[in-house]
Amino acid sequence: MKNKLLFGLSFFLIMSAQASDYLVANKSELTNAIKQAVPGDQIILRKGIWENTEIIFEGNGTAQKNITLKAEVAGQTILSGNSSIKIGGSYLVVDGLYFNNGYNLESVIEFRKNDQLLANHCRVTNCAIMNYAPPTRFENENNWVIFWGQYNRIDHCTIGDKLNAGTTIIVNLNDERSQNNYHSIDSNYFYTRTNLGSNGGELLRIGISRYSLTPSQTTVKNNYFEKCSGEVEIISVKSCYNYVLDNTFYECEGSVVLRHGNHNVVSGNLFLGNNKPNTGGIRVINPDQTVTNNLVINCVGDRFRSALSVMNAVPNSQLNRYYQVKDSKITNNSFINCANIIFGVGKDFERTLPPANVLFGNNFITPLGKNLYQDENKDGGIIFKANATNIATTAPGFKNTGVQKISWHNLSLNLPTDKSVGADLSKVAFVEKEKVGAYWKFPTAVAVNKGKLISVNAHTTMELAEVIAKANSNDTILLVDPLYELKKPIFISKPLVIMAKTKAEWVNAVEKSIPSFITIENGGSLFIKGIHFNSAYKSYGDAQSAIVTAKTKMLNHYVLQVENCEFYNFNESSYACIKASKGSLADSIVVNHCVFRNMSGNAIDLSSERDDKGMYNAEKVIVKNTVFYNMLASAINVYRGGNDESTTGPAVTIDHCLFNDVDNREQGCVIKLLGVQYARILNSSFYLSGQGGSAIMFQELRWDNIKVDDCNFYKSGRIQCFRSNLIGKNITKIAPTPNKLSFSNYIQ
């Protein structure tokens, strides 16, 4: 009897020690399983779509026996809608979940249940977040992953393109229990962060300025960042004792930025710019920083996006401004074919405090131009010692060294024969994107529909708006008749081409006014050619605009190309031919061989972002070979307010254009480019335009790249700007010959 009792007790202990698997199919079963789970248990979510499932994963495992919440098949348990997960407790693991086709206004994954229960020693692995942004860029700012607590980890995850405002991953220090946290962000694949066109597009932020002098002890290691270009900061370090190690940055338009905090280390990273615009490396601010053994190749960004930039500081700086760079070491790095290395970047009337006691030693530079570096202060604060270059130089602290061609991970590099300088390749990581991120999911190229040709005559039984609505992506709508009376506005929600066989006039053929002939909605892009937009036709209602963007839910960037089109009879001052709505952002707007005439409103109006936070409506605006004639209001209005330095746009090019009798009102202006960071106005003529005010108005900052040259201003307004050096030497005020005022003769 005693033996039987012992056997039964042993069997009970063995059975109770065995882990349990809970296969759950709905929210109720999931909640019950989480309540019952003990160390070693696995909660398995059936494959399929879990919509609007907000998970509270609470429990306490042990270091030897975690509690795991996992997908039945990794990547096939899809959380959509407003789904999210909050993790509270210790030694909990989330594995294989896929967040797709939805958004949560707070966060997607958060390492805490609430203020009382944080996560410690918890892990998110083999998961993915893609297509999980709210429908607008700015109205619902949120974060995808928020770290709290200590010793938490996110690894082998695939993080897709976050299109709305808000840092993708943040590490919070706003709680003593989350300081000295020793978090790890490693082995992830960050595949794209599209330019936000505003501050707030960082991929990763560690801390905030308020707690920037607090130790975080977070490690960012062995990740692959591909085309992460949300803003000037890819990784923004805003705390102390953090480590950015052994990552690869591929064609990223931005930098790893030691923004606030001290004693941070950036080491072993590879930056591959491939000569893409704005590609950068490392920016250093604050004392006691270490930058070593990084390899920066073909990065051509400037200022804050330079291959290396060491900033000037603000005397008696507030926590959220710029502390002095001092007592820091930048050693054994290689900068190969990079455009800019700048010491004292950002120097202005506020940032007057130069770097001090900064060692720049044993580095190797092969410059893209003639200059090894640029020193804005030249006061000895940068100590140059034992550096090398492959070009002849007399720069103190540099020597010329021979180079040898080395093949390293299929990269052909000219590196120094002197092994004492430059990065040690054995200490630089070449992260292969196929070996990081979720094991089950990588973005794959989607076959592009080449589209078909759809001919439409003016007398079809189907309205033109309906034909376009039913068209597929990349279809071409060919208009074969000279006049189209539209009874419905047209909405573009996919990439389309609309073109006339010769020319086609569009008119509104209903009694009421319509907001526009064309509205570009989210997902839409348009190439349009040969259309004449007539706002006022017979006794019908007006069209207030020709082409506009939707006023709501504009998340994706769009492209607009307008060629050989004509715009006329927009007879109210509030009208505009091409107009962008607040919250919309174009990758590019290109207007070529067009005519804008006989109107009271603006021709091209990209000025809806009036919050003065550095936001704007188009990255690139190109207007060429175009005539603006007999206009009461401005021809071109592009606005970027505020002095935020996180972005590089907008960029405006105006070339071979004619402005004849445009905006002669008191204090009127023909071209307004307020806050534009790059502008070229070339080979253009202003005739009897802007006489009551300005032909061109800028509100530029000292570092903006602006030039007006080879232009003629006859009986026209002035160029209004803060700095006269933007005006070239080839400015004239000559009466144009009659043929130069002819539309057909002027357009090249």
Cα dihedral sign for 731, 735, 740, 742?
Answer: positive
Give pLDDT, residue 5: 38
In a domain, 339, yes or no: no
Residue 370 confidence (pLDDT):
82
For residue 374, what are its two tokens? 């640029």
Q: Is residue 84 a contact partner of residue 56, using CB atoms and an 8 Å limit?
A: no
d(CA 466, CA 26): 41
- When pLDDT is cut at 50, 70 and 90, the band that residue 11 belongs to is very low
- Residue 644 binned pLDDT confidence (cut-offs 50, 70, 90): confident
pLDDT at residue 660 in the model:
95
pLDDT band at 108 (very low <50, low <70, confident <90, very high): very high
Instruction: Note whether residue 742 is domain-resident.
Output: yes
Residues near 514 by Cβ (< 8 Å), separated by ≥ 6? 489, 508, 541, 542, 543, 544
pLDDT-derived band of residue 4, with 50, 70 and 90 as boundaries?
very low
Report residue 16's pLDDT band, with 50, 70 and 90 as the boundaries.
Answer: very low
Q: Is 671:631 a contact under the CB 8 Å cutoff?
A: no
pLDDT of residue 15: 38
* Residue 162, domain member (yes or no): no
Residue 268 pLDDT: 97
pLDDT at 322: 92
Domains of the chain: total:
1
Q: Say whether pLDDT at 7 is over 60.
A: no
pLDDT digits (tens, 9 = 90+) for 438-467: 998 655 666 677 899 999 999 877 889 999
Q: Kindly state whether residue 19 falls inside one of the protein's structural domains.
A: no
pLDDT reading at 487 higher than 50:
yes
The confidence band for 682, taking pLDDT boundaries of 50, 70 and 90, is: very high
* Residue 698 covered by a domain: yes
Q: Each residue of 661-677: pLDDT tens digit? A: 999 999 999 999 999 99
Q: Which residues of 519-553 are buried (b: 16+ CB within 10 A; e: fewer)?
A: bbbbebbbbbbbbbbbbbbeebebbbbbbbbbeeb
Tell me what pLDDT residue 9 has: 36
Dihedral sign computed on CA atoms, order 368, 371, 372, 376: negative
Query: Percent helix, strand and coil across the chain, each rounded to 5?
Result: 10, 45, 50
Cβ pair 326, 356 in contact under 8 A: yes
Q: What is residue 15's three-state secondary structure?
A: helix
Closest CA to 150 of 198, 118, 103: 118
Residue 187 lies in a domain: no
| Residues 618/650, Cβ–Cβ less than 8 Å | yes
For residue 85, is it within any domain? no
Tell me the pLDDT band of 394, cut-offs 50, 70 and 90.
Answer: confident
**Average pLDDT of the residues in 96-118:** 96
* pLDDT at res. 443: 54
CA–CA separation, 246 and 268 (whole Å): 5
Candidates 557, 458, 497; CA nearest to 194 is 557
599: in domain: yes
| Region 416-422 average pLDDT | 90
Selection from 549, 541, 595, 598 nearest residue 569 by Cα: 598
**pLDDT, mean of residues 506-515:** 93
| Buried-state track 572-611, b at ≥16 Cβ within 10 A, e below 16 | beebbbbbbbbbbbbbbbbbbbbbbbbbebbbbbbbbbee
- Average model confidence (pLDDT) for the chain? 92
Q: What angle do CA 638, 644, 648 make, to 5 degrees?
A: 60
Per-residue pLDDT reduced to its tens digit, 248-304: 999 999 999 999 999 999 999 999 999 999 999 999 999 999 999 999 999 999 999
As to burial, measured by CB atoms within 10 angstroms (0-12 exposed, 13-18 middle, 19+ buried), residue 71 is buried
Q: How far is CA 707 from CA 149, 217, 253, 653, in A?
A: 52, 46, 24, 10
Spatial separation of the C-alpha atoms in residues 24 and 29, rounded to whole Å:
5
For 356-365, what is the mean pLDDT?
97
**Terminal-residue alpha carbon distance, the chain:** 107
pLDDT of residue 117: 97
Phi, psi angle pair for 624, to nearest 5° = -135, 150
Query: What are the tens digits of pLDDT across the range 22-80?
Result: 999 999 999 999 999 999 999 999 999 999 999 999 999 999 999 999 999 999 999 99
Phi, psi of 354 (to 5 degrees): -80, 165
Run of H or E including 16: helix 2-17
This prediction has a pTM of: 0.91
pLDDT at 416 exceeding the cut of 60: yes
For 715-742, the pLDDT digits (tens) are 999 999 888 788 989 999 998 876 666 5
Give the domain range for residue 728.
Answer: 570-746
